[in-house]
Structure 1
Amino acid sequence: MREVRSLVLTLLAVVLLVSGCTAKDANVKKQAAAAPEKIVVQAPLAPPTAPLYKILKDGQVNGVKVELIVYKSVEEATTRVVKGEADLTVLPVNVAAKLYNKQADISLANVSTWGILSLVTTDKQVQNWQDLKGKELYVGAQGSTPDVLTQYFIHKNNIQASEVKLAYLSSPEIAQLMINGIVKYAVLPEPQTTQVLMKNSEAVVARDFYTDWQAFEGGAARLPQAGMVVRNEFARTYPKALSDFQNAYKNAMEWTVASPAEAAPLVESNMSMPAAVFVKSMERTHLTFATGAQAKGDVNTYLARLLDISPEMVGGKLPDEKFFLTD
């Protein structure tokens, strides 16, 4: 009887030991899962991408590697988002809303770009929107943010759509045509606006979209053009890694804005943009970090205006509260 009792106690000790090891192993695996192997970010060659090169130069974000994919078109980026091939993606805010409304499992993590568009002309007689009547105005791709915002300002200035002829090309193409003196009226983003101003002495900025937006929407209104979406699965699985990345991006953005001359060499080597152009372009680039939740009011106002003009631009409706990543 004593031998049986001893055997039972021995078996019990073994079971407890194995259970303890199993629990310990599970806890180790759980802790490992709290940090991803890497964070995959995709972004265009545009102002909100500049801070990402600072992150890459500094190395890992709290021990996690960051991989940057530079995309050439919004279509390429959205395809990767839908397939879940990027954890975070810089996108026009309206494109993010459109994807969300089409059931993409994403949230708006942050907004970074608050107005980078200008009405540029070589005609000194054009100073207001009304002066564009009877003119041919070149704008970025039809249905794009520059297009819809241009239509917004035409409408707000009581100009009939038929009174201004809109011609569509890519922004780099339009900039080159204006540099060569072929195009006289254009809507351009930064840094293309600065490139034109530096290479064509006749070119001037007639209207600043950010200023005009505030004139119609109120002095405190901001123009949330671009931000970053996150895969919800990534946000749920790696909340700390996401928080660390958000903080790193915010800090890198603040450094870029405060020290454009220091950021310029990184931009020049990675974005094929002359350092002088980048430094000058930052004077008209409204680059400020805000979380999705912090930007909600401005984003809803912006999307509502786009919805009024072109419902397809936002996916037919305003996104619900779950579109905004909670802080």
Structure 2
Amino acid sequence: MKKSFIVLLICIMGFSMFACSTDKVAPGDEGEGEQVNEVEDSKEPVRVASLKGPTSMGLVKLINDEEEKENSSYEFNIVTMADEIVTGISTGEIDIAALPANLASVLYNKTGGQIKVAAVNTLGVLYIVENGETVTDFEDLKEKTIITTGKGQAPELVLNYLLTQNGLVPNKDVTIEFKSESTEVATILSSEENVVAVLPEPFITSAKMNNDRIRTVFDMTEEWSKLQDEDGSSLVTGVLVVRDEFLKDNKEQFDEFLTQYEKSIAFTNNNIDEAAALIDKYGIIKEGVAKTAIPKCNISYVDGSKLVQSLGGYLDILHEANPQSIGGKLPDEEFYYAKE
């Protein structure tokens, strides 16, 4: 049953402590006829997973700081596939995870509310780019082909939303051609003139290093924001979630983790050179690419009421376009966690 459940989550996704103690008795000083009981608390580390890419960039200072401690409370794992996080959360092998925003909603719905989202860690990383000079506004996209990834998932749904809101009918006024990987899109963009594509950072930065004709036409995060009112949603890429069972027994520790996580994200944004070196150190992307890409990755920390506003509205729009992209229904208010 569990295996089938995990497979179902991976299909929907299309992209994604237990505290224990042991008592150790030290041998007594037999010469004095006394035995001293020495109790040593032993806890398993908090297991934190994140996806390789922008959603891990804000973690690197925290990871590095914990590595330098003699006895860290955390075990970090940066993974390349979202299904590794799906499996880990579902089986209880991961306590805290940074993952795509829509996948958090899928997991919440499919696990019956066994996770909570605590913060947005990455706003939009998607951009419309062109190898050429033919597009300056949305009207110029009419009768063009846009190549992208994520059919039926966030990249397509966000693109369709922006096209529709700007007077274009997807797959009528604009042809959308899907590829399986962002690397494939980037290769086509770099090698063919007048190609228009939707790509995330840091793929755009890498592509521009190989071809100086590639330019950014639209920042999709900015275009999304233009369509919202003052209390509207944000374009959200990644969030931080926690297993509810872990949270119940470790609330104080998790709140402290959030405090350190927010500081780590601020470090990444405010110390680009040092952060880029750490991003390279942990195998996320190369230092040279990271230096240019960090400001464009919208690495953020959003929690509390702003989290509900930003993420809730975003999920609402995805739900209207494709309910299955967020697990079939909008999460209820228990989905959101706020530290005290």
TM-score by length of 2: 0.81
Question: What SS does the aligned partner of 1:119 have?
Answer: strand
**Aligned residue number for residue 103 of structure 2:** 95
Question: What SS does the aligned partner of 2:59 have?
Answer: helix
Residues in 2 aligned to 1:246 and 1:183: alpha-carbon distance in whole angstroms: 44
State the shift of 1:193 in Å: 1.3
Question: What SS does the aligned partner of 1:295 have?
Answer: helix
Identity %: 27
**Aligned residue number for residue 32 of structure 2:** none
Letter of the 1:51 counterpart: G
Query: Whose Rg is larger?
Result: 1
**Aligned residue number for residue 25 of structure 2:** none
1:118–1:206 Cα contact (<8 Å) kept: yes
**Aligned residue number for residue 68 of structure 1:** 76
For the structure 1 residues 167 and 141, does the alpha-carbon distance in structure 2 shift closer, same or farther, using more than 3 Å as the test? same
Q: Deviations over 1:179-235 (max 9, x none)?
A: 233781111111111112222111110000111011111366532221111000111
Tell me if 1:227 matches 2:239: yes
**Aligned residue number for residue 241 of structure 1:** 253
**Aligned residue number for residue 128 of structure 1:** 137
**Aligned residue number for residue 292 of structure 2:** 280
Q: Flag the structure with higher helix content.
A: 1
Residues in 1 aligned to 2:74 and 2:58: alpha-carbon distance in whole angstroms: 13
1:87–1:231 Cα contact (<8 Å) kept: yes
Residues in 1 aligned to 2:54 and 2:142: alpha-carbon distance in whole angstroms: 31
Tell me if 1:204 matches 2:215: yes
Unaligned runs of 5+ in 2: 1-36
Letter of the 1:87 counterpart: D
For the structure 1 residues 130 and 81, does the alpha-carbon distance in structure 2 shift closer, same or farther, using more than 3 Å as the test? farther
Q: 2:65 aligns with which of 58, 69, 79?
A: 58
Residues in 1 aligned to 2:194 and 2:254: alpha-carbon distance in whole angstroms: 44
State the shift of 1:244 in Å: 1.7
**Aligned residue number for residue 191 of structure 1:** 202
Letter of the 2:85 counterpart: A
RMSD: 2.2
Tell me if 1:82 matches 2:90: yes
**Aligned residue number for residue 263 of structure 2:** 251
Letter of the 1:65 counterpart: S
Question: What SS does the aligned partner of 1:188 have?
Answer: strand
Residues in 2 aligned to 1:300 and 1:152: alpha-carbon distance in whole angstroms: 16
1:9-158 alignment to 2 at 5 Å? 32=41, 36-59=43-66, 64-102=72-110, 103-158=112-167
Residues in 1 aligned to 2:231 and 2:190: alpha-carbon distance in whole angstroms: 34
2:98–2:241 Cα contact (<8 Å) kept: yes
Q: 2:190 aligns with which of 164, 179, 201?
A: 179
Moved more, 188-197 or 60-69: 60-69
Q: Which runs of 4+ in 1 moved over 6 A?
A: none
**Aligned residue number for residue 168 of structure 2:** 159
